[in-house]
Amino acid sequence: MPRSLDALAQRLGLRVDSAALLVAITHSSYAAEHDCSSNERLEFLGDAVVDLAIADLIVTGYPTLDEGSGSLVRSRVVNEEALAEAATKLDLASFLRVGRGELKSRGLERPSMLADAFEAVVAALYLERGFERARDFVREVLGDDVARAARHPDEVDPKTRLRQWAEACGLGAPTYELRASGPAHATVYEAVVSLGGVVRGVGQGRSKKSAESEAARAAWEVRDDA
């Protein structure tokens, strides 16, 4: 069963009986089973609000970044993996209302569902408290990610960097094996990356992509030993 909305509403600064918040945590699978509104329309709105909030932060907070670098920073922060991580920080999975089929198939672990829920919650905040509060909330949750990306806006992501190096060295493309542990609302993934059949790195994360990125980063650090 989903948790009471009290904690999430308090975190957002919304009323516990907020109609928009209730819709924001309602997946289409639950809506279909209970004949109620899903969060799909709010996700559509939230996508635009998050995008604008991050663009606003980049322009006002990082005046040395030009348009191209700013676009790269935004793309590294406003994407499914990053927004799913943001949802995980908020423990959104424990509040979401999903259908029986999604529960059985561990849908609450899917980054796409978590990212969509984050956008929907931002939209609910925008509708009830206005853009400034929604912007401030997005900054609170994603500000550190923007700061990291802004330090090295042209940096290639760890998986791409490792693959390019491995292929150039004749080792072939890296392969990843994933294991999951923990409850559905707090799953931890462990990724093991191999090059030429030899394990080169291990990483953990709250999403599959983040675990693979950490494994690729670990492999990159010992690449001279390959």
Of the candidates 43, 47, 212, 214, the residue annotated as catalytic is 47
Last residue in a domain, options 126, 151, 176: 151
Give the pLDDT of residue 225. 60
- Residue whose tokens read 């609302």: 185
Residue 1 lies in a domain: no
Let me know whether 10 and 99 are in one domain. Answer: yes
Let me know whether 12 and 113 are in one domain. Answer: yes
> How many domains are there within the chain?
2
Residue 145 is a catalytic residue: no
Let me know whether 186 and 206 are in one domain. Answer: yes
- Residue whose tokens read 């984050």: 118
Let me know whether 69 and 167 are in one domain. Answer: no
Cα separation, 152 vs 134, in Å, equals: 27
Give the pLDDT of residue 122. 98
105 three-class SS: coil
Let me know whether 123 and 69 are in one domain. Answer: yes
Let me know whether 123 and 66 are in one domain. Answer: yes
Residue 41 lies in a domain: yes
CATH number for the domain harbouring residue 105 = 1.10.1520.10
Let me know whether 131 and 52 are in one domain. Answer: yes
Let me know whether 115 and 131 are in one domain. Answer: yes
Give the pLDDT of residue 226. 52
Let me know whether 72 and 125 are in one domain. Answer: yes
Residue 214 lies in a domain: yes
Let me know whether 88 and 132 are in one domain. Answer: yes
Let me know whether 166 and 91 are in one domain. Answer: no
Residue 119 is a catalytic residue: yes
Of the candidates 43, 116, 119, 212, the residue annotated as catalytic is 119
Residue 147 lies in a domain: yes
Let me know whether 220 and 201 are in one domain. Answer: yes
Cα separation, 119 vs 24, in Å, equals: 8
Last residue in a domain, options 101, 121, 151: 151
What pairs with residue 175 in β-bridges?
Answer: 194
Q: 88, 78, 83: which is closest to 205 by C-alpha? A: 88
Last residue in a domain, options 87, 116, 151: 151
Q: Using the 8-state DSSP alphabet, how is residue 78 labeled?
A: S
Query: Over its length of 226 residues, how does the chain's per-residue pLDDT go in tens digits?
Result: 567 889 999 999 999 999 999 999 999 999 999 999 999 999 999 999 999 999 999 999 999 999 989 998 998 899 888 899 899 889 999 999 999 988 888 778 888 899 999 999 999 999 999 999 999 999 999 999 999 999 988 777 788 888 888 888 888 899 999 998 887 667 788 999 999 889 999 999 877 888 898 999 999 998 876 5
Structural domain containing residue 171: 158-225
Characterise 172 by phi-psi region: left (phi > 0), alpha (psi -120 to 50), beta (else): left
